[in-house]
Amino acid sequence: MYAEERRRKIASLTAVEGRVMVAELAETFDVTAETIRRDLKELAEEGAVNRVHGGAVAAKAFQTLEVSVADRENAQRDAKRLIARAAVAFLPESGCGIFLDGGTTTEALAKLMAANPNHRHWSVVTNSLPSALTLAANPYMELQLLGGSVRAITQAVVGDQALRTLALMRADVAFIGSNAVTIDHGLSTADPQEAAVKRAMIANARQVVVLCDSTKLGRDYLVSFASLEDIDVVITDDSAPRAFIDELGENGVEVVIAR
């Protein structure tokens, strides 16, 4: 197992279980205690966990810190590509409508959509500047970029103009990213304006597919934009804790593990 994958699993376990111990992690991953301590040190520096004597605890509840697009693109890059590939199976037939949310994982899906080997015709509505630029080169797309204000840190369009446009639209499938997923708080993000756009896309789509790498599971951000009953599918990577996956299933959410 690569160090990045191990740290991703440790971050997910800590978020879901609340506390992890060095000795138990060393046994679970068959590495030395010193290796685990280095992993926890790196995760703590990233803000994924908080160090305590003998182990680590989950990062504080209701986080507000946002990470730039450039930094997020480098984080969990392989997991995001695998999730995007798995999401291709949920793309609708030709002639259907798609909402594509902002985020680096949805941008990975946009790159696969732009390739579009079967030449399917889609009507795509997005609030993501990077995804819009990627999709604009494909002649089979009927592409609409929502109008409004652009948040520099995420390169996503937000605001009343975007919300008014979405209120008049319907989509067959909405592909949504999320900073965090918990059983009680549902899907959450740091910014209320981005949360409002996500909420509008979810409300006006027949099927909602959430693209979320395992480091987001068990975390909680300030603004909740959907409960578990509002979504249909969560696509995550194989570092997701089994107990959390089972809980999602018990709440009626289909979980797809991207391998």
* Final residue of a structural domain among 19, 39, 58: 58
Residues 8, 130: one domain? no
By C-alpha distance, which of 51, 160, 173 is closest to 109? 173
pLDDT of 66 = 54
Query: Residue 29 is part of a domain; what is its CATH number?
Result: 1.10.10.10
pLDDT of 4 = 75
Residues 15, 40: one domain? yes
Low-confidence ranges of the chain (pLDDT < 50): 64, 68
- Containing domain of residue 174, as a range? 69-258
Predicted TM-score (pTM) of the model is 0.77
Residues 110, 192: one domain? yes
pLDDT digits (tens, 9 = 90+) for 83-111: 999 999 999 999 999 999 999 999 999 99
pLDDT digits (tens, 9 = 90+) for 107-144: 999 999 998 878 889 999 999 999 999 999 888 899 99
Inter-axis angle of helices 22-29 and 33-46, nearest 10 = 110
Residues 49, 73: one domain? no
Residues 189, 236: one domain? yes
Beta strands in 130-201 (DSSP E): 141-145, 149-151, 156-158, 171-177, 180-182, 186-189
Residues 207, 239: one domain? yes
Residues 11, 113: one domain? no
Return the DSSP state at 120: -
CA angle 223, 226, 228 (to 5 degrees): 130
- Residue 85 in domain: yes
pLDDT of 121 = 93
Looking at the structure of the chain, the number of domains it has is 2
- Residue 63 in domain: no
- Residue 92: strand, helix, or coil: coil
By C-alpha distance, which of 164, 159, 162 is closest to 145? 162
- The number of beta carbons lying within 10 Å of the beta carbon of residue 255 is 16
Residues 139, 250: one domain? yes
Residues 97, 162: one domain? yes
- Residue 45 in domain: yes
By C-alpha distance, which of 249, 114, 92, 76 is closest to 174? 92
Residues 111, 186: one domain? yes
